[in-house]
Homo-oligomer: A and B are copies of this chain.
């Protein structure tokens, strides 16, 4: 029997799984936290891969989803959010030193889109937008039944589209991007600013205040938290309207932790999307749905990509 190994390197955890050629049920699956010292990340990654390796089967390929822009052919990482030492980092070179099987690479959100399209919420949709809202905002696009990666594999950076030129500074250093208005970090920042300004809230200022905390407070009726999530939803709706005009997709899939805010986020999002489209025909056959695989979308997309390369359906 042959097996494929899929890896998803996230902002806080790394996940790996070995899969048989034609099944979605992993043979082995494992997860580790990213080590604090960035120097040992490669070692941790290799240990993780080892832990899901299948000695009885022949491993025919590795497929790796990474955060941030990456050159898919070479596996050269331009920059990886949350992994400062992986700026201009030749991950492909490093891994190919160790593994003699083919190693494939892709941006984590691109692979997540592929996973949802092949096996999940997006099956059968030739034109699909996947947007993941967590610490940052990432995206993946299927167009004419193909993943959109662009000339260097850097496409679908849906968090870095302009929504308001005079807006707040984004994680990328530019102003006014969607991510600066609607990511988990943006929600937390907006809450912090308002508390500092003296607005009342059940939330406490602190360096570890998270989007999850804001979401919980909102569920319990905290007005400031509700408004912060509402604003994020509105901006996502505005951006989605633009994406709908650009791609005319039949499905939008929402992933990432912030999407778990549920209606607090999706109500303003859908309302704004509806208000902003230039013609209702764009919405007539458009589904807006949560991801099916949640945190596993990237892993399954990495698997789908490797299978595609081997011509396995």
Contacts and interface: CB of A to CB of B under 8 A. Distances in A.
A191 interface: no
Interface stretch (A28-36, A160-168, A215-223, A305-313): A160-168
A249 interface: yes
Contact of A144 (B144, B160, B164): B144
A69 B279 contact: yes
A152 B281 contact: yes
A285 B152 contact: yes
A247 B69 contact: no
A151 B164 contact: no
A248 B152 contact: yes
Interface string A271-306: 000001011011001000000000000000000000
Interface stretch (A56-64, A112-120, A196-204, A238-246): A238-246
Dominant SS at the A interface? Answer: loop
A158 B248 CA distance: 12
A276 B162 contact: yes
A11 to B, nearest CB: 17
Contacts of A150: 127, 247-249
Given A143-B144, A151-B250, A154-B279, 20 more contacts: A143-B143, A143-B148, A144-B144, A150-B247, A150-B248, A152-B248, A153-B248, A155-B245, A155-B246, A155-B247, A155-B248, A157-B278, A160-B242, A160-B278, A161-B245, A161-B246, A164-B164, A165-B238, A174-B276, A246-B246
What 8 pairs between A and B have smallest CB-CB spacing? A150-B248, A161-B242, A155-B248, A157-B245, A172-B278, A154-B248, A151-B250, A160-B245
Interface of A: 69, 78-79, 126-127, 141, 143-144, 146, 148-158, 160-165, 172-174, 238-239, 241-243, 245-250, 276, 278-279, 281-282, 285
